[in-house]
Each structure stands twice: as structure tokens, then as C-alpha cells.
Amino acid sequence: MNPTTTTDPRPGPEQAAGPDRPPPLLHVDDLRCHLPTRRGLLRAVDGVTLTLERGQTLGIAGESGSGKSMLVRTIMGIAPRAARVSGEVRFDGVDLRRLPAREARRYLGRHIAMVFQDPSSALNPVVRIERHLTEGPRHHLGLSRAAAREKAVQLLEQVGIPEPRKRLRQYPHQLSGGMRQRVTIAMALACDPALLIADESTTALDVTVQKQILDLLQRIQRDRDMAVIMVSHDLGVLAGRTDRIAVMYGGQVVEEAPTPTLFAHHRHRYTAALLEAIPDTARPRHSALHTIPGAPPDPVALGPGCRFAPRCAAALPRCSTDVPHLEPAGDDGHRYACFAPTGLRERP
């Protein structure tokens, strides 16, 4: 079974649970994260439902400000303290949001781990690499200091860092950006999690190192049979590395489909715009890049209707008044929320 994502509260046929069917690894139901501000309530995540099975990879795509990072932070339980969070986050059948804080923390880091966008801010600059890598195994797995240190050496070897014993004695500033990101990946893997969340984990790296990190994550997932949520603003990064992709806009999921289907038969106008914005080497040199006109919606002043309507050249009158819900577009779990879909489009 493939992971599915939808903002429609009605469960799809792929979400139906049978008596002999185990629960999905992760199921998020109508998750919302609203932040009170002086201007009003900021709806960062506004009713997202998703299901992720063991061993599967789900990509979450969208522009900056679409709610991608806040969604995964809310799943991890690290949303801002002032946030008003509602909905369910079930991990292996257990609703983490209903657990006491201490029990919920047992899952975070132990069963669910996260690789953050900026390794410099994820690592304490005055703490050696050894302590970064040994604290988790000692706390969650009960390893001795010596056993945790040996595990740290093995982790650094697995993520491709040379001279791992020497690196344990170093501080983050003594490593390159790519090596710091590899350390954060090793930290996330330290307790053998079942789910790894990579939040824009290659954005701050150059293209060559970016590919190395993405290949590393893919190899580790295959070796450990982990489930992965990969967040990126670049659909090109998610192509070929994910089983399904959920496209977010204005805190909601506007389209979700198997990755090949999304590229070949996308229906939502926003998805089409994101695909057009991917640089194409087949275009003439120095040709202008495609951009999406306008700006993302203000999450504090969201109007009625489709949130992409002000930027959509094909918007209908009802797009400004009615809210589109995710509708099925096939038997493979493809769903979209658009009154003026692009129709089936073939892309190489």
C-alpha cells in the first residue's frame, strides 16, 4: 500500500482498514497548527491528512511559506509553544498527541527522527561531535559510554565521513557544510528509527554535495527499510527518490499522487506551475526561466475559495467563493483540489 495524503476528511478507499491489516506506520488526521499573532490567527497548517506505510517515501513539495516545514515540525511535536494544534498524529497505531509529554518524547528521536535544513543550527557549536552522536543511544537505548562511542564511530563510517575517531573529538565548526550535514544524518540514525523526516536537508549545499547527500539518504533507507518523508521546494529533487508526492499550498495539500503520475498527469494548476519552473536543459541557452506570478497567500488573511485563485490564470468565478476538496483522479490514489484542472498532460 502506498502512502496517501489529503485534506478531505472523508477517507479514501486506500485508507480503509481491514481486520487483518496492521495499522500504517504514520497516520496524520486533519492536522492543524494555528499561531496567534497581533494581526490575527496564522493558519500555518490547515487540515492535512496523510498516511505513510513502512518502507515508503513520501515527498512534500511547495514554495517557501506553503506549510511544509511547519507540517513536519507539528508531526514531530516541536511546533512553537504558542501554537494551537489539533488533529491526530498516530505512529504505529499510537496517537502521540494524547500521550503525556514524557512518553511522547520516547518516540521522538527513538522511532521518529529528523534531519533539519541547516546543519549549523542543528549542531551545538560548543559541543564535540562525540557528544552529539552518543547522547541519543545512551538515553533511548541504554548503551554504556563505550558502546555508544563505538556506535558513533560506525555511524560516521556509514554516512561516509573519513577518520571517524578523529572527527569525534572535533567541533562542528571544524567540519565542512557537507560533513556537518552527514553528522546530522548520523544523529538521526543513531537510535535506528522507523521513520526519518528530511526537511530541506540539502538546500544549503552545493549541487555536487546535494546529490551525495540525497544518494546517501536513499542508500540508508534501502539498507534499513525505513520510511522517509522528504520535504523540498524542488520537484526535481523528489523525482525518482519518492513513491508519492503531496503538493502543499497555503497550509493545505492541493494535489497528491504517485510520483510518476504527478509528473505525467498532474491536474492542479499550481502543480503545473511548479513543474514549469524546473530548469530545462533542452531550452535554448539564456532563455528566461518560468516563474509563478504573484505571491503566496498571507496565512493571516486567507480569503474564501481556492487559495491559489489570485495567482491562477485559469481561475473560474467559483474559485473565489467555493473551497475545492481533493477529488479522486484515478485508482492509484491520485487526488487534486481544483475547479479548473489542467487535464491529462504528458511530460517526458
Among candidate residues 29, 25, 99, 114, the one with its CA nearest the CA of residue 69: 114
231, 72 contact by CB (below 8 A): yes
For residue 13, the SS3 value is: helix
Distance CA 160, CA 113 (A): 19
Q: How far is CA 113 from the centre of its chain?
A: 12
Residue with cell 534499513: 224
CB 63, CB 54: distance < 8 Å = no
Dist CA 322 CA 328 (whole Å): 18
Nearest in space to 89 (alpha carbons), one of 109, 102, 71, 68: 71
Q: Could you give the CA distance from residue 173 to residue 175 in angstroms, rounded to a whole number?
A: 5
Distance CA 134, CA 140 (A): 10
**Beta bridge partners of residue 33, listed in sequence order:** 45, 85
Question: Nearest Cα to 198, choosing from 236, 166, 168, 237?
Answer: 237
Domains by residue range for the chain, with CATH: 4-111+191-279+289-336 (3.40.50.300)
Cα three-residue angle 141-147-151, rounded to 5 degrees = 80
The pTM of this model reads 0.87
Per-residue pLDDT of the chain (348 residues; tens, 9 = 90+): 444 444 443 344 344 455 566 789 999 999 999 999 999 999 999 999 999 999 999 999 999 889 999 999 999 988 999 999 999 999 998 899 888 888 888 778 789 999 988 887 889 999 999 999 999 999 889 999 999 999 999 999 988 899 999 999 999 999 988 899 899 999 999 999 999 999 987 776 777 888 888 888 888 898 888 999 999 988 888 988 999 999 999 999 999 999 999 999 999 999 999 998 887 777 787 778 788 888 899 999 988 899 999 999 899 999 999 999 998 887 888 999 999 998 644 443
